[in-house]
Amino acid sequence: MRAFLFDIDGTLVDSSVSIERVWRQVAHEFGVDEAEILQNCHGRRDVDVAEDFFKPEVIEAVLARVNALDTECVNGAVPVRGAQQLLATLDDGQWAAVTSGPRPLMAARLRAAGLPVPPVLITADDVHFGKPHPEGFLLAAKALGVPPTSCVVVEDSPAGVAAGKAAGALVVALTTTHSADVLTAADIVVSDLSELPGVIP
């Protein structure tokens, strides 16, 4: 039996508009060009994005501002098409969520979207290395008691796809946030979660 390891933003919860709104605002406030940030902020920890695009002396302030704006945006979260139906078919021991976001925010987004918070929830607070490093997926597989090679990683970003592949899992990419042409490293590419049951071997 396969276990499913889902990313949250863009995979279970449609929050891309909120994420981009937050980073656009923060870029404006700190005088940084937003274009490259918006191309690289999905699927990555806030701290990794901040370290890539902001001066070291303002990173702490940037992260505090991102956190404050994220909290304000929680109520706009909605489930990705097919998420509610798919999760309803899985037992608690069959799936986990692995996210680059902080635990309180990710749990709040799931609840706001009407989705369950799984017993196994690996967040930015639990890892030393963010995606594309496989640490989060390896921790989730271990917590579920299954080998990574028996897992299906479901992701929407190139960083997440790379992390899933590095973990040794079968990787399914959704084109909810990025186009298919930048997700070619995935084993399977679908438009949303409603297609997932029909494509898993």
pLDDT at 47 over 80: yes
**Residue 122 exposed, middle or buried by CB count within 10 Å (0-12, 13-18, 19+):** buried
Three-class secondary structure of residue 83 per DSSP: helix
Catalytic residues: 7, 9
pLDDT, tens only, 86-121: 999 999 999 999 999 889 889 988 998 999 999 999
Poorest-pLDDT segment among 20-34, 62-76, 159-173: 62-76
pLDDT, tens only, 137-173: 999 999 999 999 999 999 999 999 999 999 999 999 9
Residue spans of the domains in the chain: they are 3-14+76-198, 16-75
Task: Give Cα 51 distance to the centre of its chain.
Answer: 19
What CA–CA distance (Å, rounded) separates 10 from 14?
5
Q: Looking at the domain that runs over 3-14+76-198, which CATH code has it been given?
A: 3.40.50.1000
Mean pLDDT value of segment 9-35: 90
pLDDT at 72 over 80: no
Phi then psi dihedrals of residue 191, to 5 deg = -85, -30
